[in-house]
Amino acid sequence: MSDPDSEEGRHLKEVEADESAAGKRLDQWLTEALGPELSRNRVQALIRGGAVMLGTQTVTEPKRKVVIGERYAVAVPEPEVQVPVGEAIPLDILYEDDAVIVINKPAGLVVHPAPGNRTGTLVNALIHHCGQKLSTIGGAHRRGIVHRLDRDTSGVMVAAKTDEAHMALAEEFASHGRNGDLERVYVALVWGVPKRMAGMIDAPLGRALQDRTLRAVVPENRADSRDAVTHYKVLERYGEGASEGGGIASLVECWLETGRTHQVRVHLAHIGHPVIGDPAYGRAFRTKAQRLPEDAAAKVAALPRQALHARVLAFRHPETGEPMRFEAPIPDDLKEVMACLAGL
């Protein structure tokens, strides 16, 4: 699951009703506010389709009267990007047969083309490597893609070569492993050390109100709330006080019971231990690096991504039913940071 996230194939645009909007129908005003690219009929379809939010509430009535000061968020369709073509991008292949291909995705590699990343993606690499032997269920821009990792998260991913394999894997991921042997294990370098060496974070997720491309822990009764459960275990503690259970940072292993967008990153930040280098959920903790010795602080500052790695992925083979388990070693950039922290 998965990149900096907006609605699939859409971008979110916020508009505020001024005096000229007062009393107008929502569809009429949004057509004027969003510009000539969208017809009134298209705007009506977006409203009825749940693409318009007023605060935390979805608005589905085009005839609704607009009130001055209301702020609406509209998931506006992105213009279609060109059909992706194969590109000779190196792949670290862990396993491959006629149904699936398992790869160790490096940090920095976007999973599929979208506005802003039209080329140079994992899909482009898969098309070059597999040719026409990729599932088409997700559409031309997501050929073979069953699940996603954020651009700057490294680790194990599986892609489907046939539509039948895609459907079977998608069902397994959708059930969060309850109907099979799906297992997803991440490791993360985080600021601080959790009070408990192992535990469970059970906190529903929804869109963050201040930035709707991000996620946040939300009340269970909110319309967009989705259950999210992460189990964690502290593997290492670093820095002063580590031997007594404290420390400035720690290595944490996370096992996902559900697979929501940004789940590990949001949950770890929620308990006060955001992932080191996380530009979205760890911003407030950047000053922590000032407590590090100069060499360690420089190594952390030089890390160009969040210190999060999908180390293990296990699932049942979509054709044979055989349990499959793959592990990607912690990449060198994270090992270097770990080595600096271990020397504190």
The catalytic residues are 150
> Can you list the positions of beta strands (E) in 65-152?
71-77, 93-96, 100-105
Helix/strand number for the chain, H first, E second: 7, 15
Alpha helices in the chain (DSSP H): 26-34, 40-48, 122-130, 163-174, 263-270, 294-302, 332-342
CA–CA gap between residue 233 and residue 190 (Å, rounded): 12
CA–CA gap between residue 184 and residue 1 (Å, rounded): 11
CA–CA gap between residue 197 and residue 166 (Å, rounded): 37
Categorise residue 242: left if φ over 0, alpha if ψ from -120 to 50, beta otherwise. alpha
| SS3 call for 254 | strand
| SS3 call for 54 | strand
CA–CA gap between residue 146 and residue 166 (Å, rounded): 6
Sequence-distant (6+) residues with CB within 8 A of 236 are: 250, 251, 338, 342
Exposure b/e, 271-298, CB count within 10 A at least 16 = b: bebbbbbbebbbeebbebbeebeeebee
Sequence-distant (6+) residues with CB within 8 A of 216 are: 205, 206, 207, 208, 209, 266
> Can you list the positions of beta strands (E) in 45-197?
52-54, 57-58, 71-77, 93-96, 100-105, 154-160, 183-191
Residue with token string 């010795």: 293
